[in-house]
Every structure is written in structure tokens, then in C-alpha cells.
Structure 1
Amino acid sequence: MKILQLIHKPQNRGAETFACQISGHLKALGHQVKIVAIFEGNATLPYEGEIICLNASQGNRFLDLRGWRKLSKIISSYQPNVVQANAGDTLKYAVFSKIIFDWKAPILFRNASEVGRYLTSPFQKRYNSFLYRKIDWVASVSGVSERDLLEHFPFLKGKTEIIPIGLEIKKQESLVRLKPFSVKHIVHVGGFSFEKNHKGLLRILSLILEKVPQVHLHLVGDGPLKEEIELEVKKMKLESHVSFYGFVNNPLAFIDAADVLVLPSIIEGLPGVILEGMYCKTPVVAYNVGGISEIVNGDTGILVEKNEEQKFAEGVLKSINQPENVRIDNAYRMVVKRYMNEDIALKFVNSYEKIVTDEE
């Protein structure tokens, strides 16, 4: 089959990285893949082929006739069997391009979060309802994401399934030694956005330091709120206990070197970083949001109800002082068995075949 993967832009974010990784596996299975980015970006994504850019204007993305036309020309030339829209503005561009320029390929939307969290007005719900009525299939990253979608848009019933995010098989080649050497290391990997809740993480760190002063927090990632969090660290006088790294090419090496991986997000779909922690056999502590409870439970990690910062701190301390090897091994086996991209690519192929058959 021919698959066109539509991504928001070349950026180091889970949706784009996963789309590129899956595309590599689809090609290995004998399918043809073309990746198209809506907006410009400067990240190097894990994909060996060309990534075509529409060079669309973000300021004009709600009425971008030029961008929709460029996408339609690519689709007309390539003649894909399926167009897969992967988060961001991709669904909007796919739907309006198809409506206005009348191309025929079915659209599969990859739902990687809880859409209901972003519907803040009746207009947004009506607008999204219009978009969702124009698609052929939805692959939700978790059971929670799927239920949230169907709760807000029940007309999609019968047109959704769960296909989780996955991992690549990786050999750890570049090792990281976290400093200072004499302390316990907490690692957080994620963009600096409100969903990731960095301010809450700093409050949790303060609670941990009251019990164990020999702890250091390593923040891996970049994003719009990074400067604000750097100022918050100074305000809370935590400079000697927090390090910032920006974007790194080898976050797995940081996770592997950590004593514990933390994810106190307030909104998530099914975060790949937790799977990476389990793959590295690093203890995981996370808030119970989105689909996290589908992978983190008493057998695989420590799950804390959202905003219970004291209990989160206690979970981190327990993971540092008394890591449970049985739990760590359970988590590793689960990831290897259920969340590797080689197998997940086959699930997407099954979906493509289903919607192509239905179209015929």
C-alpha cells in the first residue's frame, strides 16, 4: 500500500517521532510511505527518507487555501491508499484539503491525547465535530483517549480502535554519568509546556529535599515555558538541586542513568517516555492521568492521583530508597511483549487494510 503520513512539523515531539518510526517499519514491511510536514521545523527526525514541507503559515492555518492546495497536489501525484493525520493541525489540513480539492483517499486520525481537555467553548466542539465527521477511522493511543473521544463525539462509535505508542529496539551506546555523583538522581524528560506540570514537579522536589537532601533533578527537554521554569528554580532557591539540558539526542541514556523517572503531567495520552523508563529498568512514578494507568500500576511502577504532591514525593523516595526489582522486571517484560514498534506497525497495516476495503 501507499501511505501518506501528515505531521505538524519537524520537531522533537512524540507524535512526529512516532510517525517517523512507524513509517520506517511500514517500509520494511514492503509498503510505500511519504511523509509531509505542514509547517517548517529544524529538528532531525528518525526517518531516512525525505520529509516534504508544505511551508504553510501558522498565522493563516484556519484559512490556508494555498497550503490545502499544495497538499492536494502531493496527494494527486502520489495517489496514497490512506492519509494518516498525526496530531497538531494535521486533521484540519487533511479534511479541508479533501473537501475543497475533492481527493478520495480515506483519512485515519491518530488521537494521541484527551481531546476533551482542549474543548473550552461550544464553538470548538462544533468545529471539531465537523472535522471528525469527515474522517474514516481513529487510532487512539489508549483506552482513556478512546473513551474521551467517544464521550464528546459519540457518532464515531464503530470507527475507532486502540493502537498504543511503541518503542524502538535500542542498544544503549552512549552512556551518561549524572552529576553530582554522590546523590540520587531524578530524571524528567518532556517539553516545557503546561501539560507537563514542571512547577508542580519543583514543589514535589522541595518536599523530597525535606527528607533527603542528597537528591538532584535533571530536566531534559525544551519548550516555551523553559525560561519561566528556570526563573522558578531561582525563586525557590533550588539551583544547586536542578539541572537543565534542553533537547538531547539521547534521552534514553539519561533515563538509563537515573535512579527514578518521574512524570507529574496533568494531561497525557500514553507517554512513550514511561515505556522508555520501563525498557531501561528505571523505576517510574507518575500521575494517574490519560492512559498512564494502562501501563503503570502496582505491578509495574508507582501511580499517584493527580495533584497529590505529597504522595508523589513519597513514591519517589520509596523508589530511590527501596527499588523493587520484581516490579521493575514486570514493567520491562510488559514493554517488550506489548509495546514494540515492529508489532505496532502491523496493527496500523490492519487498520489501513480495513478502511481501504470499506472504501471499495
Structure 2
Amino acid sequence: MQNRSNIAKLVLIAVASLVLISFPLVAPNRYVVHIVNMAGLYILISIGLNLAMGYCGQINLALGAFWGVGAYTAALLNTRLGVPIWINLPIGMIFAGIVGALVALPMLKVRSHYLALVTIGLAETINIIIVNEAWLTEGPLGISGIQMPNLFGIAIDGSERFYYLVLAAVVVGYLVARQIVTHRIGRAFIAIRDDDTAAKAMGVNTAYYQILANAIAAVYCGLAGVLYAHMNTYISPDIFEFKSALFVLTMTMIGGMGSLTGSLVGALSLPLMQEWLRAIGRWQLIAFGLAIMIVVLFVPGGVVGFTRRLEESGGFRLPWARKPAAEPLRVEEPNVS
């Protein structure tokens, strides 16, 4: 039985790899490839949200601001100093991580819905700074003229070529996140999420791991921001407003909060949701809120959690649904500090 499961996984991985590699060649047009590229960037942000909120229990709705920090860092370095994307990537990720750690400090004093309000306030503060400090960020007009990447003399100057850069970032980001959640850090995150008082009693430095979780989430957002800036060659503050964080939250909850696979599955709904909701303009926020309510009330655990319940009830079994979305790992060690 185990061999059959392993074979099914290998076949699934092989088919998925073939589809992903060949996608730009068979896509009907460049716009579709661009939408998929955006889905990849949202996957990175969703992975960061899942690490902070799904695994560590830290409600963080400032992801749009961290995304903006990474994008503006890359845009300013590139347009003013000519710094290429390959240097902007680590700089943008580090700077976003530092901002995420600083933002996490006041979050240590609050819990529950107050935590959500604090992160929204901090995100709006960062967004206001971006809009008003026009001497640095060009204000509401945004920054244009950002250079597309160049690799070994080959210009990555189209959606089709940039697709492979985004794909590589998503694969590496996902594998790194898997290592984090299976490491001692991940076990500490889950201990804090389940009961931070008990985690403290076991010797876990809860403040340190809470700050670390938010910093890691910000690093993923910074990575997505740098890629976004160089992919579109133009950024403006409205792209990184609160609705971006709400969109990623909706996507993650549909896929399955507390499961890295949920971030990938949730992204499958991204292109359809974007196209369906494009016509309603600013009513999108209401649609996202309704989607979250429906998932919480009727499909807790998202798609991944739903498939797990089907498996347990004798329905069908999917190779990636072996663990429930709400409880991806168990804390086994008494001391993880």
C-alpha cells in the first residue's frame, strides 16, 4: 500500500513538473501567463502568511505593506543606483524582514482580534509613508522605469521568460518553508499556536519565535515584492493596500490555513477570482469577506482539510492530504528553546 502511495506521488510530481515547465509554451496568450505569474507571487505571500498565522497563530494583516517594502526597495535601488535584481533580491528580503520584526514588537502585547487591528494600523502607517514621502517614493504617481532582469546576457523581458523565474522562487520558497515547519522552529511555532502559556512552561521563548515568525513572513513578502517590481517595471502605492492582504488571506483560507499545500491549492482559485471580481471594482472587499465567512462556517480547514475529512470518512484519498490542515505537525519534544 505504501509503495502504491509513493508511486502515485512520483507520478503526480512528474505530471505536475511537465505541466509547469511547458505551460508558457501552450498558454493561449501572454496575459494568461502574466496572471499565472501573479498567482506565483501570491503563493509566496500566502506561504509567509501560513507560517505566521497558520503555524504560529500570529494574525498578521500587514502583508501588503511588507510586499510594498520589498517592491519599493528594489525599485529605488534599481532606478537610482542601477542595482540589478540579483542584488535587489537579498536586500529587499532582508529589509522587509527587518521591518517585519520591528512591526512584530508591539504585536507581543496584544492577542486575538486586537492583534489584527494592530497589524492593519501598522500596515496603513507604512502605506501612508509611501504615499506622502514623495521625495523618496514619488508619492501616488509611483516609480517607473524599473529594469527587467538579465541573466548571463539573456534578457528576461517577457511574461513567458519571467514565468520561470517566478516558478523557481515558488519552488525554493516552498521547500524552505517545509524545512522550517519540520525543524525545531516549526515545532515551536505550533506549540505557541496551540497554547502559548504551555509553550512558555516547556521553555519556549515565545516572544523570540513570534517575532521570528513575522520576520520570516515579511521575508517571503519582500521576495514577492522584488519580483513584482522587476516584472511590471512600474509600482504604485495602491497595489499594496489592505485589499491585497485580504485577498491573500482569502486565498489561503480557501486552500487551507496551517498547511503549506493550502497555499498552493488556494492559488488555483486566484485567476478565476480575479477575473470574476474585476467588474465589481471596490466591492471586491465585500466579496473577499463573504468568501472568508463561507469557508469558516462551512469548510473549516479549507480544501486540504476537506479532503482530509473525506479520507477519514472513507471517501477518497489524495497523496497530498495525508495530514489535516488544522494540525500539520505534532509537538513531541518537551523543550524546543
Larger Rg: 1
TM-score bracket for this pair, using the shorter chain length: under 0.3
Q: TM-score, normalised by structure 2?
A: 0.26
Q: Which has the higher contact order (CA 8 A, sep 6+)?
A: 2
Q: TM-score, normalised by structure 1?
A: 0.25
